[in-house]
Structure 1
C-alpha cells in the first residue's frame, strides 16, 4: 500500500508524538511509584513514632493494672480455697481415724449398743462422698466467682481522658 508523502509525514509526526506521550507516561508512572514508596516509608515512621508508643502507654495504664489485680485476686482466692479444702479434708480424715479406733468403738458400745451400726448395711453415699461433692461445689463456686470478678466492669479501673477546655472565642470583626 502506497501512501502519499503528506500522509507519511503526518504518520511520522503522529508516531513521534505517540512515542513522546509514551515516554511522558513512563516518567509520570515512575514519579508516582517514587511518591508511593515515600508515602509508605512516612507511614511506617509515623506508625513507629506515634501509634506504637500510644498503644504501649494505653496497655501500661489500662490493661496491665487490671491483669495484675485479676492475678492477685485469683492467687488470693486459690490460696483461701486451698486452705479451706485442706482444713476440711484434714478434719474429715482425723474424724475417720478416730471413728475407726477400737477404743472409741468400745466406748460407744458401752454407752449405747445400738449406736454402732453394722458395717455391712449401707443405704446410700457415705459422709465422705457427701463431703467430696460439697467440696467440689465450693471449688466450682470459687472459680466462678473469680472469673466473674475478672470480667466484670470495674469503674475504678478506667481513667477518663482529660477533656479539652472551651475554645477561645475569636474577636468580633
Structure 2
C-alpha cells in the first residue's frame, strides 16, 4: 500500500504527537505516584501523632474501667452463686448420704418396718442436675446483664461539642 507524501508526513506528525503524549502521561503518572507516596507517609504520621493517642485515651478512660467493673461484678456474682449453690448442693448431698447409710436404714426399720423404703439407683439426670443447669443459666444471665449494663450507651456520658449557631445560650 503506497501512501502519498502528504499522508506520510501527517502520519509521522501523528506518531510523534502520540509519542509525546505517551511521555507526558508517564511523567504525570510518576508525579501522581510521588504524591500518593507522600500522602501515605503523611497519613502514617497523622495516625501515629493524632489518632493513636486519641484511641488510647478513649480506651483507657471509657472501655478499660468498664471492663474492670464488669469483671468485678462477674466475680462477685460467681462467688455468690458458687457459695449459695455449693451450700444447697452440699446439704442435699449430705441428706442423700445420710438416707443411704445402712445404720440409718436399720434404725428406721426397727422403729417402723414399713417406713424403710429401699432407694433405687436412678438411671438419668436427677433433680440435682436440673438445679445445677438452672444455676448455670442464672449465672450466665447475670454475667450477660452485667456486660450489657457496662456497654450500654448512657446519655450523660456524651457531651455536645458545639452549640448550633442559630441557638442562643441561656442567660442567668
Change (3 A) 1:116 1:28: same
Assess if the C-alpha contact under 8 Å between 1:62 and 1:157 holds in 2: no
Per the TM alignment, residue 12 of structure 1 is displaced from its structure 2 partner at its CA by 6.6
State the structure with more CA Rg: 1
Gaps of 5+ in 2: 167-172
After superposition, the C-alpha distances for 1:13-68 in whole angstroms (9 at most, x for unaligned) are 66665555444443333222211211121122222222222222222222222222
Assess if the C-alpha contact under 8 Å between 1:66 and 1:157 holds in 2: no
Greater Cα offset, 40-49 or 144-153:
144-153
Give the paired residue count: 164
Change (3 A) 1:20 1:146: closer
Greater Cα offset, 158-167 or 9-18:
9-18
Choose the corresponding residue for 1:164, options 162, 165, 169. Answer: 162
Change (3 A) 1:15 1:99: closer
TM-score of the superposed pair, with normalisation by structure 1: 0.68
Change (3 A) 1:151 1:9: same
Change (3 A) 1:7 1:108: closer
Corresponding residue for 1:130?
A: 127
Alignment partners' CA distance in 2, 1:43 and 1:80: 51
Gaps of 5+ in 1: 169-173
